[in-house]
Structure 1
Amino acid sequence: MNIFKQLFVSLYSPKDIAAFRNQGIGKTIAFVFILTIFSVMPPAYHFSTTIKSGIEAFGETVKGELPPFKIENGTLDSEVDEPVTINKDGFQITLDDTGKLKGGDIAAQTENGIGILKHELVFVTAGQAQSNPYSILEGFSITSGELEQFLEKADSALMIVLPVIIVFMYLFTTALNFIKILFLAVFGMIFKNNLKKNISYGHSWRLTAYAITLPTIFFAIMDTFEAVVPLGILISWFVSLVMLYLSIKEIPENESAK
Protein backbone atom coordinates (compact mmCIF):
# COMPACT_ATOMS: atom_id res chain seq x y z
CA MET A 1 0.00 0.00 0.00
CA ASN A 2 1.46 3.39 -0.96
CA ILE A 3 1.87 6.18 1.59
CA PHE A 4 -1.02 8.29 0.36
CA LYS A 5 -3.43 5.36 0.56
CA GLN A 6 -2.09 4.64 4.04
CA LEU A 7 -2.83 8.23 4.98
CA PHE A 8 -6.40 7.91 3.75
CA VAL A 9 -7.23 4.63 5.51
CA SER A 10 -5.53 5.83 8.72
CA LEU A 11 -8.27 8.44 9.01
CA TYR A 12 -10.91 5.82 9.84
CA SER A 13 -9.57 2.27 10.00
CA PRO A 14 -7.79 0.98 13.14
CA LYS A 15 -7.66 -2.44 11.47
CA ASP A 16 -5.56 -1.09 8.60
CA ILE A 17 -3.35 0.82 11.02
CA ALA A 18 -2.74 -2.44 12.90
CA ALA A 19 -1.55 -4.01 9.65
CA PHE A 20 1.20 -1.37 9.30
CA ARG A 21 3.01 -2.46 12.48
CA ASN A 22 5.45 -4.77 10.70
CA GLN A 23 6.44 -2.49 7.83
CA GLY A 24 9.90 -0.96 7.51
CA ILE A 25 10.77 1.90 9.84
CA GLY A 26 11.91 4.00 6.87
CA LYS A 27 8.46 3.98 5.31
CA THR A 28 6.88 5.02 8.61
CA ILE A 29 9.34 7.89 8.99
CA ALA A 30 8.57 8.99 5.41
CA PHE A 31 4.86 8.89 6.31
CA VAL A 32 5.43 11.27 9.24
CA PHE A 33 7.30 13.71 6.99
CA ILE A 34 4.47 13.68 4.44
CA LEU A 35 1.79 13.97 7.12
CA THR A 36 3.60 17.01 8.51
CA ILE A 37 3.46 18.69 5.10
CA PHE A 38 -0.35 18.57 5.24
CA SER A 39 -0.39 20.03 8.76
CA VAL A 40 2.04 22.86 7.91
CA MET A 41 0.49 23.99 4.62
CA PRO A 42 -2.47 25.99 6.08
CA PRO A 43 -0.51 27.94 8.73
CA ALA A 44 2.35 28.52 6.27
CA TYR A 45 -0.11 29.94 3.72
CA HIS A 46 -1.85 32.20 6.25
CA PHE A 47 1.49 33.33 7.68
CA SER A 48 2.86 34.18 4.24
CA THR A 49 -0.22 36.08 3.08
CA THR A 50 -0.48 37.95 6.40
CA ILE A 51 3.18 39.02 6.31
CA LYS A 52 3.06 40.05 2.66
CA SER A 53 -0.22 41.95 2.89
CA GLY A 54 0.90 43.45 6.20
CA ILE A 55 4.14 44.83 4.78
CA GLU A 56 2.35 46.18 1.71
CA ALA A 57 -0.38 47.82 3.80
CA PHE A 58 2.15 49.16 6.29
CA GLY A 59 4.32 50.60 3.52
CA GLU A 60 1.38 52.32 1.84
CA THR A 61 0.18 53.72 5.15
CA VAL A 62 3.60 55.04 6.20
CA LYS A 63 4.03 56.60 2.79
CA GLY A 64 0.72 58.40 2.44
CA GLU A 65 -1.41 58.32 5.59
CA LEU A 66 0.63 58.32 8.79
CA PRO A 67 2.01 61.64 10.05
CA PRO A 68 5.83 61.97 10.03
CA PHE A 69 7.50 60.41 13.05
CA LYS A 70 10.89 59.52 14.46
CA ILE A 71 12.11 56.85 16.84
CA GLU A 72 15.21 57.88 18.71
CA ASN A 73 16.77 56.93 22.06
CA GLY A 74 14.05 54.35 22.67
CA THR A 75 11.17 56.80 22.27
CA LEU A 76 8.65 57.60 19.53
CA ASP A 77 7.98 61.23 18.63
CA SER A 78 5.39 62.42 16.10
CA GLU A 79 3.51 65.55 15.11
CA VAL A 80 0.16 64.45 16.58
CA ASP A 81 -1.08 64.54 20.16
CA GLU A 82 -3.57 61.66 19.92
CA PRO A 83 -3.29 58.01 18.78
CA VAL A 84 -3.77 57.55 15.02
CA THR A 85 -5.34 54.29 13.82
CA ILE A 86 -5.67 53.29 10.17
CA ASN A 87 -7.29 50.10 8.85
CA LYS A 88 -6.23 48.87 5.44
CA ASP A 89 -7.43 45.55 3.95
CA GLY A 90 -8.05 44.02 7.39
CA PHE A 91 -4.65 45.15 8.69
CA GLN A 92 -4.53 47.82 11.41
CA ILE A 93 -1.68 50.30 11.85
CA THR A 94 -1.62 52.39 15.03
CA LEU A 95 0.71 55.29 15.82
CA ASP A 96 0.73 56.54 19.40
CA ASP A 97 3.44 58.66 21.02
CA THR A 98 1.25 59.57 24.00
CA GLY A 99 1.93 56.36 25.93
CA LYS A 100 -1.80 55.68 26.31
CA LEU A 101 -1.80 52.40 24.36
CA LYS A 102 0.00 49.16 25.23
CA GLY A 103 0.55 45.92 23.35
CA GLY A 104 -2.53 44.32 24.89
CA ASP A 105 -4.66 47.25 23.72
CA ILE A 106 -3.56 46.72 20.12
CA ALA A 107 -4.25 42.97 20.30
CA ALA A 108 -7.75 43.70 21.64
CA GLN A 109 -8.47 45.94 18.68
CA THR A 110 -7.38 43.74 15.77
CA GLU A 111 -6.44 40.21 14.69
CA ASN A 112 -3.56 41.42 12.52
CA GLY A 113 -1.72 44.71 12.80
CA ILE A 114 1.22 46.79 13.94
CA GLY A 115 1.39 49.28 16.79
CA ILE A 116 4.11 51.93 16.69
CA LEU A 117 3.88 52.97 20.33
CA LYS A 118 5.71 55.32 22.66
CA HIS A 119 8.40 52.87 23.73
CA GLU A 120 7.73 49.68 21.76
CA LEU A 121 6.82 48.19 18.41
CA VAL A 122 3.98 45.68 18.66
CA PHE A 123 3.17 43.01 16.08
CA VAL A 124 -0.25 41.34 16.26
CA THR A 125 -0.78 38.09 14.37
CA ALA A 126 -3.98 36.05 14.77
CA GLY A 127 -4.84 38.10 17.86
CA GLN A 128 -1.50 37.40 19.58
CA ALA A 129 0.70 40.40 20.38
CA GLN A 130 4.50 40.38 20.38
CA SER A 131 6.14 43.43 21.94
CA ASN A 132 9.59 44.66 20.91
CA PRO A 133 10.94 47.57 23.00
CA TYR A 134 12.98 50.13 21.09
CA SER A 135 15.47 50.08 23.96
CA ILE A 136 16.81 46.66 22.90
CA LEU A 137 18.57 48.45 20.05
CA GLU A 138 20.79 50.93 21.83
CA GLY A 139 21.42 54.01 19.73
CA PHE A 140 18.69 52.98 17.26
CA SER A 141 17.18 55.85 15.27
CA ILE A 142 14.81 55.85 12.30
CA THR A 143 12.42 58.29 10.65
CA SER A 144 9.19 57.53 8.79
CA GLY A 145 10.97 58.29 5.52
CA GLU A 146 13.76 55.81 6.26
CA LEU A 147 11.19 53.22 7.32
CA GLU A 148 9.37 53.67 4.00
CA GLN A 149 12.56 52.92 2.07
CA PHE A 150 13.27 49.90 4.26
CA LEU A 151 9.77 48.46 3.67
CA GLU A 152 10.19 48.77 -0.09
CA LYS A 153 13.33 46.62 0.13
CA ALA A 154 11.70 44.20 2.61
CA ASP A 155 8.79 43.55 0.25
CA SER A 156 11.13 42.41 -2.53
CA ALA A 157 13.18 40.30 -0.09
CA LEU A 158 10.12 38.29 0.96
CA MET A 159 10.57 35.96 -2.03
CA ILE A 160 13.74 34.71 -0.34
CA VAL A 161 12.90 35.13 3.33
CA LEU A 162 9.45 33.49 3.41
CA PRO A 163 10.53 30.12 1.91
CA VAL A 164 13.34 29.94 4.48
CA ILE A 165 10.93 30.67 7.34
CA ILE A 166 8.47 28.05 6.04
CA VAL A 167 11.22 25.42 5.83
CA PHE A 168 12.17 26.10 9.46
CA MET A 169 8.47 25.97 10.40
CA TYR A 170 8.20 22.56 8.68
CA LEU A 171 11.32 21.15 10.35
CA PHE A 172 10.19 22.40 13.77
CA THR A 173 6.71 20.86 13.34
CA THR A 174 8.23 17.59 12.14
CA ALA A 175 10.43 17.43 15.25
CA LEU A 176 7.38 18.05 17.45
CA ASN A 177 5.49 15.23 15.69
CA PHE A 178 8.34 12.78 16.29
CA ILE A 179 8.49 13.76 19.96
CA LYS A 180 4.72 13.32 20.21
CA ILE A 181 4.95 9.86 18.63
CA LEU A 182 7.77 8.80 20.96
CA PHE A 183 5.73 9.84 23.98
CA LEU A 184 2.39 8.38 22.86
CA ALA A 185 4.05 5.09 21.93
CA VAL A 186 4.72 4.62 25.65
CA PHE A 187 0.96 4.62 26.20
CA GLY A 188 0.80 2.01 23.45
CA MET A 189 2.88 -0.31 25.64
CA ILE A 190 0.41 0.24 28.49
CA PHE A 191 -2.49 -0.55 26.17
CA LYS A 192 -0.83 -3.72 24.90
CA ASN A 193 -0.42 -5.00 28.45
CA ASN A 194 -4.06 -4.33 29.26
CA LEU A 195 -5.19 -5.93 26.00
CA LYS A 196 -2.69 -8.80 26.36
CA LYS A 197 -1.10 -8.19 22.95
CA ASN A 198 2.45 -9.33 22.31
CA ILE A 199 4.01 -6.34 20.52
CA SER A 200 7.27 -4.43 20.97
CA TYR A 201 7.86 -0.72 21.43
CA GLY A 202 8.87 -0.58 17.76
CA HIS A 203 5.41 -1.84 16.82
CA SER A 204 3.81 0.70 19.13
CA TRP A 205 5.89 3.51 17.58
CA ARG A 206 4.78 2.57 14.06
CA LEU A 207 1.14 2.31 15.12
CA THR A 208 1.31 5.69 16.84
CA ALA A 209 2.72 7.35 13.71
CA TYR A 210 -0.46 6.38 11.88
CA ALA A 211 -2.78 6.91 14.85
CA ILE A 212 -2.06 10.67 14.84
CA THR A 213 -3.32 11.00 11.25
CA LEU A 214 -6.97 11.75 12.07
CA PRO A 215 -6.37 14.63 14.51
CA THR A 216 -3.54 16.01 12.35
CA ILE A 217 -5.71 16.23 9.23
CA PHE A 218 -8.69 17.50 11.23
CA PHE A 219 -6.70 20.39 12.69
CA ALA A 220 -5.14 21.11 9.30
CA ILE A 221 -8.67 21.59 7.95
CA MET A 222 -9.55 23.81 10.90
CA ASP A 223 -6.40 25.85 10.28
CA THR A 224 -7.37 26.22 6.62
CA PHE A 225 -10.57 28.00 7.67
CA GLU A 226 -8.80 29.69 10.61
CA ALA A 227 -11.27 28.06 12.99
CA VAL A 228 -10.27 27.95 16.66
CA VAL A 229 -10.88 24.63 18.41
CA PRO A 230 -11.11 24.95 22.23
CA LEU A 231 -8.70 22.63 24.06
CA GLY A 232 -7.22 21.65 20.71
CA ILE A 233 -4.07 20.01 22.10
CA LEU A 234 -6.03 17.85 24.54
CA ILE A 235 -8.47 16.79 21.81
CA SER A 236 -5.61 15.93 19.47
CA TRP A 237 -3.87 13.74 22.04
CA PHE A 238 -7.13 12.10 23.15
CA VAL A 239 -8.13 11.14 19.59
CA SER A 240 -4.60 9.86 18.89
CA LEU A 241 -4.72 7.65 21.98
CA VAL A 242 -8.17 6.32 21.06
CA MET A 243 -6.99 5.43 17.55
CA LEU A 244 -3.86 3.82 18.99
CA TYR A 245 -5.88 1.77 21.48
CA LEU A 246 -8.32 0.57 18.81
CA SER A 247 -5.43 -0.32 16.50
CA ILE A 248 -3.67 -2.41 19.14
CA LYS A 249 -6.99 -4.07 19.91
CA GLU A 250 -7.12 -5.29 16.28
CA ILE A 251 -3.85 -7.22 16.62
CA PRO A 252 -4.29 -11.00 16.98
CA GLU A 253 -3.67 -12.17 20.55
CA ASN A 254 -1.52 -15.15 19.54
CA GLU A 255 0.95 -13.08 17.51
CA SER A 256 4.52 -13.09 18.77
CA ALA A 257 6.57 -9.87 18.97
CA LYS A 258 9.26 -9.50 16.30
Structure 2
Amino acid sequence: MNIFKQFYKSIYSPKDIATFRFQGIGKTILYVFFLTFLSILPSIYYLSTMLNEGIESTKSVISDEIPGFTIENGSLSAETDVPITIDKGDFSIIVDPTGVITTEDVEDEDNAIALLKNEISVAAGGRIDTYSYSMMEGLNLTKADFIEIVDTVDGMKGIIIPVISIFMFLVSSAVSFIEVSILAWIGLLLKNLAGRSISYRHLWRMAAYSVTLPTVFFTIMSALNTLVPNSFYINWFVEIIILFLAIKEIPKEKTTIES
Protein backbone atom coordinates (compact mmCIF):
# COMPACT_ATOMS: atom_id res chain seq x y z
CA MET A 1 0.00 0.00 0.00
CA ASN A 2 1.48 3.37 -0.97
CA ILE A 3 1.93 6.20 1.50
CA PHE A 4 -1.02 8.24 0.22
CA LYS A 5 -3.46 5.34 0.56
CA GLN A 6 -2.09 4.72 4.05
CA PHE A 7 -2.64 8.39 4.83
CA TYR A 8 -6.27 8.21 3.67
CA LYS A 9 -7.03 5.01 5.60
CA SER A 10 -5.28 6.24 8.76
CA ILE A 11 -7.75 9.11 9.00
CA TYR A 12 -10.72 6.84 9.69
CA SER A 13 -9.68 3.19 10.06
CA PRO A 14 -8.05 1.85 13.28
CA LYS A 15 -8.30 -1.61 11.71
CA ASP A 16 -5.95 -0.60 8.90
CA ILE A 17 -3.63 1.13 11.37
CA ALA A 18 -3.33 -2.19 13.19
CA THR A 19 -2.20 -3.93 10.00
CA PHE A 20 0.54 -1.34 9.39
CA ARG A 21 2.46 -2.68 12.41
CA PHE A 22 4.13 -5.31 10.23
CA GLN A 23 5.61 -2.94 7.65
CA GLY A 24 9.25 -1.87 7.51
CA ILE A 25 10.47 0.82 9.90
CA GLY A 26 11.87 2.84 6.99
CA LYS A 27 8.44 3.32 5.46
CA THR A 28 7.00 4.35 8.82
CA ILE A 29 9.76 6.91 9.32
CA LEU A 30 9.05 8.27 5.84
CA TYR A 31 5.38 8.57 6.79
CA VAL A 32 6.26 10.64 9.88
CA PHE A 33 8.30 12.99 7.68
CA PHE A 34 5.36 13.19 5.26
CA LEU A 35 2.91 14.12 8.04
CA THR A 36 5.34 16.68 9.40
CA PHE A 37 5.72 18.33 6.01
CA LEU A 38 1.94 18.43 5.63
CA SER A 39 1.50 20.01 9.06
CA ILE A 40 3.89 22.92 8.40
CA LEU A 41 2.53 23.87 4.98
CA PRO A 42 0.14 26.54 6.39
CA SER A 43 3.00 28.04 8.43
CA ILE A 44 5.23 28.19 5.36
CA TYR A 45 2.43 29.84 3.38
CA TYR A 46 1.80 32.47 6.05
CA LEU A 47 5.53 33.05 6.44
CA SER A 48 5.89 33.70 2.71
CA THR A 49 2.82 35.94 2.61
CA MET A 50 3.85 37.90 5.70
CA LEU A 51 7.39 38.35 4.43
CA ASN A 52 6.24 39.57 1.01
CA GLU A 53 3.55 41.89 2.37
CA GLY A 54 5.72 43.01 5.26
CA ILE A 55 8.63 43.99 3.04
CA GLU A 56 6.46 45.97 0.65
CA SER A 57 4.59 47.69 3.48
CA THR A 58 7.81 48.44 5.32
CA LYS A 59 9.46 50.04 2.29
CA SER A 60 6.39 52.15 1.59
CA VAL A 61 5.89 53.26 5.17
CA ILE A 62 9.55 54.04 5.87
CA SER A 63 9.82 56.10 2.71
CA ASP A 64 6.57 58.05 3.04
CA GLU A 65 5.27 57.98 6.62
CA ILE A 66 8.11 57.56 9.10
CA PRO A 67 10.13 60.62 10.14
CA GLY A 68 13.87 60.63 9.79
CA PHE A 69 15.69 58.69 12.50
CA THR A 70 19.17 57.64 13.57
CA ILE A 71 20.38 54.72 15.66
CA GLU A 72 23.72 55.62 17.21
CA ASN A 73 25.60 54.65 20.39
CA GLY A 74 22.94 52.09 21.32
CA SER A 75 20.06 54.58 21.23
CA LEU A 76 17.33 55.72 18.82
CA SER A 77 16.69 59.37 18.03
CA ALA A 78 14.01 60.59 15.63
CA GLU A 79 12.35 63.73 14.31
CA THR A 80 9.34 63.28 16.61
CA ASP A 81 8.58 63.92 20.29
CA VAL A 82 5.89 61.21 20.57
CA PRO A 83 5.72 57.50 19.68
CA ILE A 84 4.44 56.79 16.17
CA THR A 85 2.42 53.66 15.33
CA ILE A 86 1.47 53.02 11.73
CA ASP A 87 -1.17 50.32 11.29
CA LYS A 88 -1.22 48.52 7.95
CA GLY A 89 -3.97 46.01 8.65
CA ASP A 90 -2.17 42.81 9.60
CA PHE A 91 1.17 44.58 10.04
CA SER A 92 2.27 47.50 12.22
CA ILE A 93 5.40 49.64 12.33
CA ILE A 94 6.29 51.45 15.53
CA VAL A 95 8.90 54.17 16.07
CA ASP A 96 9.43 55.35 19.65
CA PRO A 97 12.50 57.43 20.55
CA THR A 98 10.87 58.42 23.88
CA GLY A 99 11.04 55.04 25.69
CA VAL A 100 7.31 55.03 26.43
CA ILE A 101 6.52 51.84 24.46
CA THR A 102 7.87 48.62 25.93
CA THR A 103 8.57 45.15 24.52
CA GLU A 104 5.39 43.94 26.26
CA ASP A 105 3.37 46.50 24.31
CA VAL A 106 4.85 45.23 21.04
CA GLU A 107 4.05 41.65 22.04
CA ASP A 108 0.35 42.56 21.99
CA GLU A 109 0.64 43.18 18.25
CA ASP A 110 0.06 40.21 15.91
CA ASN A 111 2.73 41.20 13.39
CA ALA A 112 4.89 44.24 13.98
CA ILE A 113 8.36 45.69 13.80
CA ALA A 114 9.21 48.27 16.46
CA LEU A 115 12.17 50.63 16.63
CA LEU A 116 12.26 51.40 20.35
CA LYS A 117 14.55 53.66 22.36
CA ASN A 118 17.23 51.03 23.00
CA GLU A 119 16.18 47.99 20.99
CA ILE A 120 14.38 46.66 17.97
CA SER A 121 11.50 44.21 18.49
CA VAL A 122 9.88 41.97 15.90
CA ALA A 123 6.51 40.34 16.66
CA ALA A 124 5.18 37.61 14.38
CA GLY A 125 2.54 34.94 14.95
CA GLY A 126 2.43 35.39 18.72
CA ARG A 127 6.21 35.30 19.11
CA ILE A 128 8.50 38.25 19.76
CA ASP A 129 12.25 38.62 19.22
CA THR A 130 14.16 41.56 20.66
CA TYR A 131 17.64 42.79 19.77
CA SER A 132 19.44 45.50 21.73
CA TYR A 133 21.21 48.18 19.72
CA SER A 134 24.15 47.90 22.14
CA MET A 135 24.71 44.30 20.97
CA MET A 136 25.69 45.71 17.59
CA GLU A 137 28.78 47.65 18.57
CA GLY A 138 29.54 50.57 16.31
CA LEU A 139 26.05 50.51 14.79
CA ASN A 140 25.17 53.74 13.05
CA LEU A 141 21.92 53.41 11.13
CA THR A 142 19.79 56.07 9.46
CA LYS A 143 16.45 55.99 7.67
CA ALA A 144 18.20 55.71 4.29
CA ASP A 145 20.32 52.82 5.57
CA PHE A 146 17.21 51.05 6.82
CA ILE A 147 15.53 51.33 3.42
CA GLU A 148 18.65 49.86 1.84
CA ILE A 149 18.56 46.92 4.29
CA VAL A 150 14.91 46.25 3.48
CA ASP A 151 15.76 46.26 -0.23
CA THR A 152 18.54 43.73 0.45
CA VAL A 153 16.14 41.47 2.38
CA ASP A 154 13.64 41.78 -0.46
CA GLY A 155 16.25 40.53 -2.91
CA MET A 156 17.08 37.56 -0.65
CA LYS A 157 13.51 36.29 -0.22
CA GLY A 158 14.26 33.36 -2.51
CA ILE A 159 16.92 32.21 -0.04
CA ILE A 160 15.38 33.29 3.27
CA ILE A 161 12.04 31.49 2.84
CA PRO A 162 13.52 28.08 1.88
CA VAL A 163 16.12 28.25 4.68
CA ILE A 164 13.51 29.08 7.33
CA SER A 165 11.17 26.43 5.89
CA ILE A 166 13.87 23.74 6.11
CA PHE A 167 14.65 24.77 9.68
CA MET A 168 10.94 24.59 10.58
CA PHE A 169 10.72 21.14 8.97
CA LEU A 170 13.73 19.80 10.87
CA VAL A 171 12.52 21.11 14.24
CA SER A 172 8.96 19.92 13.62
CA SER A 173 10.23 16.50 12.54
CA ALA A 174 12.18 16.11 15.78
CA VAL A 175 9.08 17.03 17.76
CA SER A 176 6.98 14.57 15.74
CA PHE A 177 9.34 11.66 16.40
CA ILE A 178 9.35 12.46 20.12
CA GLU A 179 5.54 12.63 20.09
CA VAL A 180 5.22 9.26 18.33
CA SER A 181 7.71 7.67 20.74
CA ILE A 182 5.81 8.94 23.79
CA LEU A 183 2.52 7.74 22.28
CA ALA A 184 4.04 4.31 21.73
CA TRP A 185 5.09 4.17 25.39
CA ILE A 186 1.51 5.03 26.36
CA GLY A 187 0.53 2.18 24.03
CA LEU A 188 2.33 -0.24 26.37
CA LEU A 189 -0.29 0.62 29.00
CA LEU A 190 -3.13 0.53 26.50
CA LYS A 191 -2.22 -2.95 25.28
CA ASN A 192 -2.53 -4.25 28.84
CA LEU A 193 -5.96 -2.64 29.18
CA ALA A 194 -7.02 -4.24 25.90
CA GLY A 195 -5.49 -7.60 26.83
CA ARG A 196 -3.31 -7.75 23.72
CA SER A 197 0.26 -8.93 23.29
CA ILE A 198 2.26 -6.53 21.13
CA SER A 199 5.86 -5.29 21.18
CA TYR A 200 7.00 -1.66 21.46
CA ARG A 201 8.39 -1.66 17.91
CA HIS A 202 4.95 -2.58 16.55
CA LEU A 203 3.31 -0.02 18.81
CA TRP A 204 5.68 2.64 17.46
CA ARG A 205 4.57 1.92 13.90
CA MET A 206 0.91 2.06 14.93
CA ALA A 207 1.47 5.28 16.89
CA ALA A 208 2.97 6.93 13.80
CA TYR A 209 -0.30 6.36 11.93
CA SER A 210 -2.53 7.14 14.92
CA VAL A 211 -1.46 10.79 14.84
CA THR A 212 -2.86 11.24 11.32
CA LEU A 213 -6.38 12.41 12.17
CA PRO A 214 -5.41 15.11 14.71
CA THR A 215 -2.58 16.22 12.42
CA VAL A 216 -5.01 16.71 9.53
CA PHE A 217 -7.51 18.51 11.77
CA PHE A 218 -5.00 20.97 13.24
CA THR A 219 -3.42 21.54 9.83
CA ILE A 220 -6.83 22.57 8.47
CA MET A 221 -7.42 24.82 11.49
CA SER A 222 -4.00 26.38 10.96
CA ALA A 223 -4.75 26.94 7.27
CA LEU A 224 -7.99 28.68 8.29
CA ASN A 225 -6.00 30.68 10.87
CA THR A 226 -8.39 29.41 13.56
CA LEU A 227 -7.31 28.96 17.16
CA VAL A 228 -8.48 25.73 18.80
CA PRO A 229 -8.86 26.01 22.61
CA ASN A 230 -7.06 23.30 24.61
CA SER A 231 -5.47 22.00 21.40
CA PHE A 232 -2.69 20.20 23.31
CA TYR A 233 -5.12 18.08 25.31
CA ILE A 234 -7.44 17.48 22.36
CA ASN A 235 -4.51 16.32 20.24
CA TRP A 236 -3.27 13.80 22.81
CA PHE A 237 -6.77 12.59 23.68
CA VAL A 238 -7.60 11.81 20.06
CA GLU A 239 -4.22 10.14 19.42
CA ILE A 240 -4.57 7.90 22.47
CA ILE A 241 -8.15 6.91 21.59
CA ILE A 242 -7.21 6.04 18.00
CA LEU A 243 -4.19 4.00 19.13
CA PHE A 244 -6.34 2.16 21.69
CA LEU A 245 -8.96 1.33 19.04
CA ALA A 246 -6.20 0.11 16.72
CA ILE A 247 -4.76 -2.09 19.47
CA LYS A 248 -8.20 -3.61 20.05
CA GLU A 249 -8.29 -4.59 16.38
CA ILE A 250 -5.37 -6.95 16.97
CA PRO A 251 -6.64 -10.51 17.58
CA LYS A 252 -6.07 -11.92 21.05
CA GLU A 253 -3.60 -14.75 21.33
CA LYS A 254 -5.30 -18.11 21.61
CA THR A 255 -4.55 -20.01 24.80
CA THR A 256 -4.43 -23.78 24.81
CA ILE A 257 -5.67 -25.76 27.78
CA GLU A 258 -3.93 -29.04 28.42
CA SER A 259 -6.20 -31.93 29.39
TM-score bracket, normalised by the shorter chain, equals over 0.9
Which amino acid counterpart does residue 121 of structure 2 have in structure 1?
A: V
Question: Unpaired runs of 5+ in structure 2?
Answer: none
Would the aligned equivalents of 1:57 and 1:89 in 2 still touch at CA under 8 Å? Answer: no
Indicate yes or no: 2:165 matched with 1:166: yes
Which amino acid counterpart does residue 208 of structure 1 have in structure 2?
A: A
Moved more, 155-164 or 226-235: 226-235
Question: Unpaired runs of 5+ in structure 1?
Answer: none
- Aligned partner of residue 104 in structure 1, secondary structure: helix
CA deviation digits over 1:215-246, x for unaligned, max 9?
A: 11111001101111122122111111111111
2:222 is matched with which residue? Answer: 223
Once residues 89 and 158 of structure 1 are traced to their aligned partners in structure 2, the CA distance between those partners, rounded to angstroms, is 22
Once residues 31 and 90 of structure 2 are traced to their aligned partners in structure 1, the CA distance between those partners, rounded to angstroms, is 37
Indicate yes or no: 2:130 matched with 1:136: no
2:232 is matched with which residue? Answer: 233
Once residues 90 and 32 of structure 2 are traced to their aligned partners in structure 1, the CA distance between those partners, rounded to angstroms, is 35
1:73 is matched with which residue? Answer: 73
- For the aligned residue pairs, the C-alpha RMSD in angstroms reads 1.4
1:92 is matched with which residue? Answer: 92
1:48 is matched with which residue? Answer: 48
Once residues 53 and 187 of structure 2 are traced to their aligned partners in structure 1, the CA distance between those partners, rounded to angstroms, is 45
1:15 is matched with which residue? Answer: 15
CA deviation digits over 1:67-86, x for unaligned, max 9?
A: 00011111100010011111
Identity %: 44
Give the number of equivalent residue pairs. 255
Structure 2 length as normaliser, TM-score? 0.94
Once residues 131 and 152 of structure 2 are traced to their aligned partners in structure 1, the CA distance between those partners, rounded to angstroms, is 21
Moved more, 187-196 or 36-45: 187-196
Once residues 134 and 35 of structure 2 are traced to their aligned partners in structure 1, the CA distance between those partners, rounded to angstroms, is 42
Once residues 169 and 60 of structure 1 are traced to their aligned partners in structure 2, the CA distance between those partners, rounded to angstroms, is 29
Indicate yes or no: 2:28 matched with 1:28: yes
Once residues 252 and 19 of structure 1 are traced to their aligned partners in structure 2, the CA distance between those partners, rounded to angstroms, is 11
- Aligned partner of residue 11 in structure 2, secondary structure: coil
Which amino acid counterpart does residue 59 of structure 1 have in structure 2?
A: K
2:64 is matched with which residue? Answer: 64
**CA drift at 1:89:** 4.6
Moved more, 153-162 or 47-56: 47-56
Would the aligned equivalents of 1:103 and 1:130 in 2 still touch at CA under 8 Å? Answer: no
Structure 1 length as normaliser, TM-score? 0.95
Moved more, 127-136 or 164-173: 127-136
Once residues 162 and 25 of structure 1 are traced to their aligned partners in structure 2, the CA distance between those partners, rounded to angstroms, is 32
Once residues 116 and 238 of structure 1 are traced to their aligned partners in structure 2, the CA distance between those partners, rounded to angstroms, is 43
Which amino acid counterpart does residue 30 of structure 2 have in structure 1?
A: A
- Aligned partner of residue 113 in structure 1, secondary structure: strand
Which amino acid counterpart does residue 236 of structure 2 have in structure 1?
A: W
CA deviation digits over 1:5-62, x for unaligned, max 9?
A: 1111111111111111111111111111111111010011111211221122112211
**CA drift at 1:3:** 0.9
Which amino acid counterpart does residue 14 of structure 2 have in structure 1?
A: P
Once residues 161 and 58 of structure 1 are traced to their aligned partners in structure 2, the CA distance between those partners, rounded to angstroms, is 17
